Chains A and B, each alone.
Chain A
Amino acid sequence: MTVLELVAVSKVYGEGPAQVRALQDISLTVDEGELVAVMGPSGSGKSTLLTIAGTLEEPTTGDVLVAGVSVVGMSRNDRARLRRRSIGYVFQDFNLLAGLTAAENVSLPLELDGVPAKSARAAGLHALEALGLRDRAASFPDELSGGERQRVAIARAVVGDRGLLLADEPSGALDSVNGEAVMRLIRAACQRGVAGVVVTHDAQLASWADRVVFLRDGRVVDQTAPAAGPESLLSPNP
């Protein structure tokens, strides 16, 4: 099932000579269980694509469908509810709230959505446990390592069975071993059925995706072919 669909999406900022065409005619579908990486240099429109996919911004033209429902023209409240229930974000700098524990950070989106505190907390602990952080639930962000903070951010993004995970340079300033751990977790979430989109300029992160889409000057210029089996690299004479 298609979870995210961008249909001929364009985004223009400003007018006249100062006009910037950030995205031009982008069409992209991401299915349940699929992880797509969007690669491109700075200024190629990666982050704009992610904010539009996450319904934080509206496209100038074109349509965005989340789980088959068109987002364009939806009221602000309906869009906010859709975001809370269906879409999880992982940011480069984690964006955890410093005054809340790991467990409170993770359960916050559910509580904001009206889920009773007790159930929200149980779901939060469950999400932390899935990421190996059960024993850090009562820790505050400044008591966690960079890698642990990012795992909390991923737990917060997938808590409550949200079907769409959007990540912007999710390994941030982490070293390559921790960065790999982050991608393994995002991939594991996708294997459980979440549709994931990771935007990055880092080929090693992108290579964890099922499909890599290349963005240049606001346009999709290319994408990788469907995955070959790993055995193709293990022929006797590579």
Chain B
Amino acid sequence: MRPRGQPYDTEYVTGFGCALSVRHALLALLSEGPKYGLQLRQEFEARTGEVWPLNVGQVYTTLQRLERDRMVESDDAGDGPQKGFRITRDGEAELAAWLRTPPDLSSPPRDELVIKILIAVQVPDVDVHEVIQAHRRYLVQLMQEWTRLKDYTADRDLGFGLAVDAELFRLDAVVRWLDAADGRIKRASLERLDTERLPLPKVARKAVVRP
């Protein structure tokens, strides 16, 4: 979350290591039809609450901003939870554009685990395979917990199942990278051993013996 006082500090909540746009989530709820403020708050919580905990105040402030930006219209029936909202053409266009705009994945994230393994390779007397295994065990344990959660709940909640799948695939990719690193480091060390044990190439020795 951004620090308080910054513009749009209430527009995003974090979860799963990424930001969810409260603004677009509300537009999506209103795209189903007009809704009351209280109803929006309840539906927002019901659909995302377990995964993305949210301060309920954020729903109302964001609705006010959406109205200011002409993305939603209200029925002017006071400011209470019974105030009705509906999405405008602008709001629908904004939602459609947002859904189709790919997030920026072009630059690789700074990955602490990658850095740790790269350093472990350099440090003398560190068993890199043991370091890799410690991380692999942690990740697989985490995956076991997510899988158990999916087993308990995901059948009843498609959105939640999709979110858990995303996390499982992300962790799985890290485990696969560790597996690949493990194999690559092992092969590199075997090749180094072979080079050290190899006698001098025959041609070179002949060249030395010849007068």
Known contacts A207-B147, A207-B168, A41 near B140 by CB under 8 Å: no
The answer to whether A221 and B147 have CB atoms under 8 Å apart is: no
A204–B168 Cα gap in the complex (Å)?
Answer: 7
Known contacts A41-B179, A203-B171, A234-B50, A228 near B145 by CB under 8 Å: yes
B43 CB to nearest A CB, Å:
19
Known contacts A201-B179, A203-B171, A204-B172, A187 near B141 by CB under 8 Å: no
- The yes or no answer to A184 lying at the interface (CB within 8 A) is yes
- The yes or no answer to A1 lying at the interface (CB within 8 A) is no
Chain A residues numbered 205-238 whose CB sits less than 8 Å from any CB in chain B: 206-209, 212, 214, 216, 221-225, 227-228, 230, 232-234, 236-238
The answer to whether B133 and A222 have CB atoms under 8 Å apart is: yes
A223 CB to nearest B CB, Å:
8
- The yes or no answer to B143 lying at the interface (CB within 8 A) is yes
Contact with B along A168-192 (1 / 0, CB 8 A): 0000000000000000100100000
Q: Which of A41, A209, A224, A234 has the most CB of B within 10 A?
A: A224
Give the segment of B31-39, B107-115, B148-156 that binds chain A.
Answer: B148-156
- The yes or no answer to B23 lying at the interface (CB within 8 A) is no
The answer to whether A39 and B140 have CB atoms under 8 Å apart is: yes
Main secondary structure of the interface of A (DSSP, over half): mixed
Taking CB atoms, residues of chain B closer than 8 Å to A214 are 133, 136-137
Our pick among B137, B148, B182 for the contact of A41 (Cβ within 8 Å) is: B182
Chain B interface extent, by class: 20 to 34
Measured CB to CB, the nearest residue on chain B to A230 is B149
A147–B182 Cα gap in the complex (Å)?
Answer: 32
- The yes or no answer to B183 lying at the interface (CB within 8 A) is yes
Known contacts A230-B152, A238-B15, A212 near B144 by CB under 8 Å: yes
Q: Which of B15, B151, B176 has the most CB of A within 10 A?
A: B151
Known contacts A234-B50, A236-B53, A203 near B145 by CB under 8 Å: no
B12 CB to nearest A CB, Å:
15
Q: Which of A41, A204, A232 has the most CB of B within 10 A?
A: A204
B156 CB to nearest A CB, Å:
14
A185–B185 Cα gap in the complex (Å)?
Answer: 37
Contact with A along B119-156 (1 / 0, CB 8 A): 00000000001000100110111011111110111000
A233–B143 Cα gap in the complex (Å)?
Answer: 11
B154 CB to nearest A CB, Å:
10
B159 CB to nearest A CB, Å:
15
Taking CB atoms, residues of chain A closer than 8 Å to B87 are none
Our pick among A203, A224, A237 for the contact of B172 (Cβ within 8 Å) is: A203
- The yes or no answer to B59 lying at the interface (CB within 8 A) is no
The answer to whether A204 and B143 have CB atoms under 8 Å apart is: yes
A197–B136 Cα gap in the complex (Å)?
Answer: 20
The answer to whether A187 and B151 have CB atoms under 8 Å apart is: yes
Known contacts A201-B179, A230-B152, A207 near B146 by CB under 8 Å: yes
Known contacts A184-B151, A203-B171, A227 near B145 by CB under 8 Å: yes
Our pick among B129, B137, B146 for the contact of A224 (Cβ within 8 Å) is: B137
The answer to whether A224 and B141 have CB atoms under 8 Å apart is: yes
A26–B78 Cα gap in the complex (Å)?
Answer: 72
A212–B148 Cα gap in the complex (Å)?
Answer: 14
Known contacts A41-B182, A204-B172, A232 near B136 by CB under 8 Å: no
Taking CB atoms, residues of chain B closer than 8 Å to A187 are 151
A145 CB to nearest B CB, Å:
21
A230–B148 Cα gap in the complex (Å)?
Answer: 6
Cross-chain pairs A/B with CB under 8 angstroms, 13 sampled: A39-B140, A187-B151, A207-B144, A208-B147, A212-B141, A214-B133, A221-B133, A224-B140, A227-B145, A230-B152, A232-B145, A233-B146, A234-B149
Query: Measuring CB to CB, which residues of chain A are less than 8 angstroms from any residue of chain B?
Result: 39, 41, 184, 187, 201-204, 206-209, 212, 214, 216, 221-225, 227-228, 230, 232-234, 236-238
